Chain A
Amino acid sequence: MFLDVQGIDVRYGRNHAVKSVDLTLDEREIVTVLGANGAGKSSLLKAILGSEKSTGTVFFDGVDISGWSAPRRVNAGLVMVPEARQIFVSLTVHENLQMGAYCRSDDVGAEIDAIYDRFPNLAARREMLASILSGGEQQMLAISRAMLAKPRLMMLDEPSLGLSPIMVKQLFALIEDLNRDGLTILLIEQNTHMALQSADRGYVLELGDVVLSGDAKTLQEDSRLGEAYLGTH
């Protein structure tokens, strides 16, 4: 098991956001976590990354990392693309990429060049403030920035949010591309349809509980998936 999450609990005061969730991920898999607003998806990701206080156990590549700080987990290869892209708006495009490599001590010049080759729009704006980028460009920057952190597991928090349908397609093509190159991906989405098309397996969260999980194809046909969103029982 590449990532093995056992009994993760997240509380904000009296709000029990994630209730003893179990989740596993094999190497080179795309797994998606689905659910409506407030289902606890983002809290679960942050707990896995260690940027949110939680109880429970997280094994990464066989090692118990539950007690590790967030920077240490980033160093180990757990990297997150945060919700709503959240690039650093008062830093330049180039500085945003440098921030991605913040934890690394080796030379990343060649990797940054490769990113500029892949996304010419970013290359043309490398010295400009990242705030001027379009939504799609910002998402490409956010993913590129995460790639520079040398991820072994990349976690994306609702990457399709606020993007045009064409950009969403490009985005999922990019995610599948990265996966083919060997990257393991944990994807949080509200766009159930697109996510289940790309993913191998999926989990459905409702009010902090896993109510449904399994093969992506099976989930797509399960009528209970809609219920988790609409809250009808």
Chain B
Amino acid sequence: MSGYMEAQLIILCLSIIYAYGIFLPAASGQLNLGAAGFITLGAYASAWFNAGTGAELPMWLSIMLAMVFTGVIAFAISFPILRTRGVYMVLATFAFAEVVSGIAINLEFVGGASGFPVDDHADVTVIVPVTILVILFSFYFMSTRLGLALRSIHDDESVATLFGVNVRTAKVVAFTVGAMLMSLGGSLYGHHYNYIEAQTFNVLLSIYILLYVLMGGTQTAWGPLIGAAFFAIVPETLREIAESAGLKWLAEGRFMMFGAFIVLLMVFRPEGVMTRTLQNRLGSGLFRQKKVVSDDAGGGS
């Protein structure tokens, strides 16, 4: 694999992990624009556990501790944040990410504004398997009783309550587990590039990740995978094709075209690319197998 391809693959993998972190709460209808905040927490916490404490913890342990750390914070803030919904939740989570960023920039023991070098390196042989694990975990998560409950909450919260779904608990779990996935992604980012600074994880990143998920579709676990892959691959591929064909206008204007495409998608398919209906229609062997699994998990538990 060429260095360029490998770099692209890393970006794709991280995007996928982030996207699943936003997808889990989004499956129950939560709009979370705080991705950058959880990613920052994960990146800094893991880097610090790894090299900053004097204990020199191994990378895998640092990453896991960072996930726990982020999970505890996400759990704590989920209670006030989940009192809001819709655009107010977008604002609340955005504000949270800004606060985290502000704190990270002012904490001298993790480098402050000049950034923080990260010790241990995670290369593609670590990141790809972890990404696959995250994907499998998310599919499993959505096939459980809790996954079904989250989707029913997305549809109609008050009716979900009528069948004994504890809406608050389900939402808190989805929010917290999602935050832990983003923390994992952030840790891997730090360990791959071996240098982090809070400004990298800005609101633009949060917007992109939320877009991956909304464009891909929140109805099935395929959505974030498709959304992240699309966003990570299409603009780059478009550039390559345009440059090799000598179409300078296309290479330079690709983001404009991409933007127009997003607008069109929002107008004509607001529920995202991948829907339940499309999944049923695509009913190939792979899709069928998935469904059998979800039936067993729901009926047997």
Chain A residues with CB under 8 Å of chain B are 49, 51, 69-71, 74-75, 79-80, 82, 86, 88-92, 94-95, 98-103, 105, 107-109, 112, 127-129, 145, 149
Determine whether the beta carbon of A51 is less than 8 Å from that of B155. Answer: no
How far does the Cβ of B247 sit from chain A's closest Cβ, in whole Å?
41
Among B163, B166, B295, the one with the most A-chain Cβ atoms within 10 Å of its Cβ is: B163
| Chain B residues with CB under 8 A of A89 | 155
* B131 beta carbon closer than 8 Å to chain A: no
Cα of A91 to Cα of B165 in the assembled complex, Å? 15
| Chain A residues with CB under 8 A of B78 | none
Determine whether the beta carbon of B162 is less than 8 Å from that of A98. Answer: no
Q: Which of B183-222 contact A (CB under 8 A)?
A: 219
| Chain A residues with CB under 8 A of B162 | 49, 51, 70, 74, 79-80, 82
Known: A90-B151, A103-B163, A103-B164. A98 touches B299 (CB 8 A): yes
Q: Which of B152, B161, B280, B300 contacts A70 (CB 8 A)?
A: B161
Cα of A74 to Cα of B164 in the assembled complex, Å? 6
Known: A80-B162, A90-B219, A129-B276. A107 touches B155 (CB 8 A): no
Q: Digit string of B263-282 for contact with A (CB within 8 Å is 1, else 0)?
A: 00000000000001100100
Chain B residues with CB under 8 Å of chain A are 145, 148-149, 151-152, 154-156, 158-166, 219, 276-277, 280, 291, 295, 298-301
Cα of A109 to Cα of B300 in the assembled complex, Å? 8
How far does the Cβ of B152 sit from chain A's closest Cβ, in whole Å?
5
Closest 6 CB pairs of A and B: A103-B164, A74-B164, A71-B164, A88-B155, A98-B298, A102-B163
Cα of A127 to Cα of B283 in the assembled complex, Å? 11
- Given A69-B166, A88-B159, A88-B160, 11 more A-B residue pairs with CB atoms under 8 Å apart are A71-B166, A75-B164, A79-B163, A82-B158, A82-B159, A88-B155, A90-B151, A98-B299, A109-B299, A112-B299, A129-B277
Known: A86-B159, A127-B280. A95 touches B154 (CB 8 A): no
How far does the Cβ of B78 sit from chain A's closest Cβ, in whole Å?
19
| Chain B residues with CB under 8 A of A98 | 148, 298-299
Q: Which of B152, B219, B276 contacts A99 (CB 8 A)?
A: B152
Q: Which of A99, A105, A112 contacts B148 (CB 8 A)?
A: A99
Known: A105-B301, A107-B299. A90 touches B161 (CB 8 A): no
Cα of A127 to Cα of B154 in the assembled complex, Å? 19
Q: Which of B149, B155, B277 contacts A102 (CB 8 A)?
A: B149
Known: A86-B156, A95-B298. A51 touches B277 (CB 8 A): no
| Chain A residues with CB under 8 A of B163 | 74, 79, 99-100, 102-103, 145, 149
Known: A88-B151, A91-B152, A103-B163. A51 touches B299 (CB 8 A): no
| Chain B residues with CB under 8 A of A108 | 299
Determine whether the beta carbon of A71 is less than 8 Å from that of B155. Answer: no
Cα of A71 to Cα of B160 in the assembled complex, Å? 10
| Chain A residues with CB under 8 A of B301 | 105
Determine whether the beta carbon of A127 is less than 8 Å from that of B299. Answer: no
Determine whether the beta carbon of A102 is less than 8 Å from that of B145. Answer: yes
Cα of A128 to Cα of B275 in the assembled complex, Å? 12
How far does the Cβ of A76 sit from chain B's closest Cβ, in whole Å?
10
16 contacts between A and B (CB under 8 A): A49-B162, A75-B164, A79-B162, A80-B162, A89-B155, A90-B155, A91-B148, A94-B295, A95-B298, A98-B299, A99-B163, A101-B299, A102-B149, A103-B163, A103-B164, A129-B277
| Chain B residues with CB under 8 A of A74 | 162-164
The residue of chain A having its C-beta at the shortest distance from the C-beta of B154 within the complex is A90
The residue of chain A having its C-beta at the shortest distance from the C-beta of B151 within the complex is A91
| Chain A residues with CB under 8 A of B166 | 69, 71
| Chain B residues with CB under 8 A of A105 | 301
| Chain A residues with CB under 8 A of B158 | 51, 82
Cα of A74 to Cα of B161 in the assembled complex, Å? 9
| Chain A residues with CB under 8 A of B152 | 88, 91, 99
How far does the Cβ of B112 sit from chain A's closest Cβ, in whole Å?
46
Cα of A51 to Cα of B161 in the assembled complex, Å? 7
How far does the Cβ of A179 sit from chain B's closest Cβ, in whole Å?
21
The residue of chain B having its C-beta at the shortest distance from the C-beta of A51 within the complex is B161
Q: Which of A70, A92, A112 contacts B164 (CB 8 A)?
A: A70
Determine whether the beta carbon of B159 is less than 8 Å from that of A102. Answer: no
| Chain A residues with CB under 8 A of B164 | 70-71, 74-75, 102-103, 149
| Chain B residues with CB under 8 A of A145 | 163
The residue of chain B having its C-beta at the shortest distance from the C-beta of A112 within the complex is B299
Cα of A101 to Cα of B148 in the assembled complex, Å? 12
